[in-house]
Amino acid sequence: MDALLGMKKKIRRASARVVFPEGENDRIILAASRIVQEEIARPILLGRADTIRKLAAGVGADLKDISIVDLFAPSKLDQYAKQYSDDRDLPIGAARLILGKPVYFGAMMVKTGEADAMVGGITTPSEEVVMASELFIGMQENISTPSAFFLMEVPGFKGEEGNLLIFADAALNPNPTPDQLADIAISCARSAKNLLGWEPRIAFLSFSTKGSATHPDVDKVVEAVQIAREREPDVLIDGELQADAAIVPEVARKKTNGASSVAGRANILIFPDLDAGNIGYKLVQRLTNGAAYGPFLQGFARPVSDLSRGATISDIVGATILVVVEAQKYESIGD
């Protein structure tokens, strides 16, 4: 948990409002109580107040300083439905139907500024978390592809960020196009700067290093590198690189003749597709007994995190730390 403890120290004040759409889940309730105790954020639980109070009593959770919002309260739902209906020229009934789902209601709270970030997914499919976030929160400037990264803490690895690396995309995009790969890389660069204070050094991975193999899959990565460089000329980006050339200085010198500012020093690894990314992070996690924090969503105009169905209380707290640190860059949160 060293990486998360380091990020937790960046929280200036526990003033960020984080909405949890699945407020009637006992793990969410316990995590919210811990979030208040550890002065991380101000949780907002969506759900029926009486149900949440009964669940909290059953698991011994303290609801002090935790807000409860009943999305079925007519006044709030009607207000949001009217606003969304007007914005999208939708029938009011359709707007109410959409916003009657907690994850959409939570995303609307972020859109309206009544919450600063959202953490969901413990009982909601990832596709719905992403769809709600795209629909209501929207995307960052010049980003059109939502993506997800894992922060990997790898025992025994010694890079320029210690034993930390970012892996992307290992959760959302099955077969990204060159433009989508560029989006993923640029989102990762922003995440690395905002969350970790890193200078991003991005390696686009392949089974080829600088033309050592030819194949349409290699061509896709080469094109993605060109697009990313054109869009972000001040970010250190290189590829195509094999994984060892990306992170092992000795291998990088041999395979690139020392001509790369990224090879051997990469702190962000962009995988060519979801097969490679998902297999890669799980192998590293299991073979090294390392930690894989995430998946953390990125690319949205405001912070969102998607929990796995099996997320522990510590996982939920960790995800909240991440969105709070990111939320602090907006307006005056925590100042």
The per-residue pLDDT for range 221-253, each reduced to its tens digit, is 999 999 999 999 999 999 899 999 999 999 999
In a domain, 279, yes or no: yes
pLDDT in tens, 156-189: 999 989 999 999 999 999 999 999 999 999 999 9
| Averaged pLDDT of the chain | 93
Of 136, 161, 155, residue with least CA distance to 265: 161
Residue 1's pLDDT band (cuts 50, 70, 90): low
* Residue 49 structural domain: 2-138+302-327
| Same domain assignment for residues 161 and 221 | yes
Residues 61 and 31 in one domain: yes
Same domain membership, residue 128 and residue 152: no
Q: Are residues 40 and 62 in the same domain?
A: yes
Q: What is the pLDDT of residue 87?
A: 87
Measure the CA–CA gap between 60 and 26, rounded to whole angstroms: 10
Residues 77 and 203 in one domain: no
Query: Is 204 within a domain?
Result: yes
Geometric angle at alpha carbon 131, from 167 and 14, rounded to 5°: 70
Beta bridge partners of 147: 298
91-128 confidence digits (pLDDT tens): 999 999 999 999 999 999 999 999 999 999 999 998 99
For position 4, what pLDDT does the model report?
79
Is 160 a member of any domain?
A: yes
Dihedral angle at the C-alpha atoms of 292, 294, 299, 301, nearest 10 degrees? -140
Q: Both 126 and 192 in a single domain?
A: no
What's the CATH code of the domain at 245? 3.40.50.10750
What total of structural domains would you count in the chain? 2
**275 has pLDDT over 60:** yes
Kindly tell me if the per-residue pLDDT of 75 is higher than 90.
Answer: no
Asked if residue 197 and residue 101 are part of one domain, the reply reads no
Evaluate whether residue 334 is within a structural domain.
no
List, for residues 315-335, the tens digit of each pLDDT value: 899 899 999 999 998 755 554
Residues 182, 249, single domain; the answer is yes
How far is 293 from 284, CA to CA, in rounded Å? 12
Which residues in the chain belong to E strands, given as ranges?
A: 17-20, 42-46, 67-69, 117-120, 147-153, 164-168, 201-205, 236-241, 268-270, 291-298, 304-306
53 phi, psi to nearest 5 deg: -65, -40
Say yes or no: 163 and 270 in one domain. Answer: yes
Q: What pLDDT shows up at residue 5?
A: 82
CATH at residue 102: 3.40.50.10950
Nearest Cα residue to 108 out of 72, 143, 79? 79
In a domain, 333, yes or no: no
Q: Are residues 100 and 190 in the same domain?
A: no
- The confidence score (pLDDT) of residue 205 equals 98
Q: Which two tokens stand for residue 83?
A: 């606003």
Rounded to whole angstroms, the Cα distance separating 299 from 182 reads 12
- Looking at residue 291, what is its pLDDT? 86
How confident is the model at residue 72, as a pLDDT? 78
pLDDT at res. 309: 85
Q: Is residue 53 part of a domain?
A: yes
Cβ burial of 228 (10 Å; 0-12, 13-18, 19+) is: buried
Same domain, 41 and 177: no
- How much is the pLDDT for 320? 94
When pLDDT is cut at 50, 70 and 90, the band that residue 71 belongs to is confident
Predicted confidence at residue 333, as pLDDT, reads 54
Question: Which of 32, 320, 299 has its CA nearest to residue 185?
Answer: 299
Query: CA-CA distance, 109 to 114, in Å (whole number)?
Result: 5
Helix 102-112 / helix 74-88 crossing angle, nearest 10 deg:
70
Query: Cβ of 93: how many Cβ atoms within 10 Å?
Result: 10
Cα angle value 47/133/184 (rounded, 5°): 140
CB atoms within 10 A of CB 190: 18
Q: What is the pLDDT of residues 32-57, one digit of tens each?
A: 999 999 999 999 999 999 999 999 99
Phi/psi for 194 (5° steps) reads -70, -40
297 within domain boundaries: no
pTM over 0.85: yes
When mean pLDDT is compared across 21-30, 208-217, 257-266, the lowest value belongs to: 257-266
d(CA 268, CA 202): 5
Say if residue 73's pLDDT is above 90.
no
- Across the range 132-145, mean pLDDT stands at 94
Sign, Cα dihedral of 260, 261, 265, 266: negative
What pLDDT score does 258 carry?
A: 79
252 belongs to a structural domain: yes
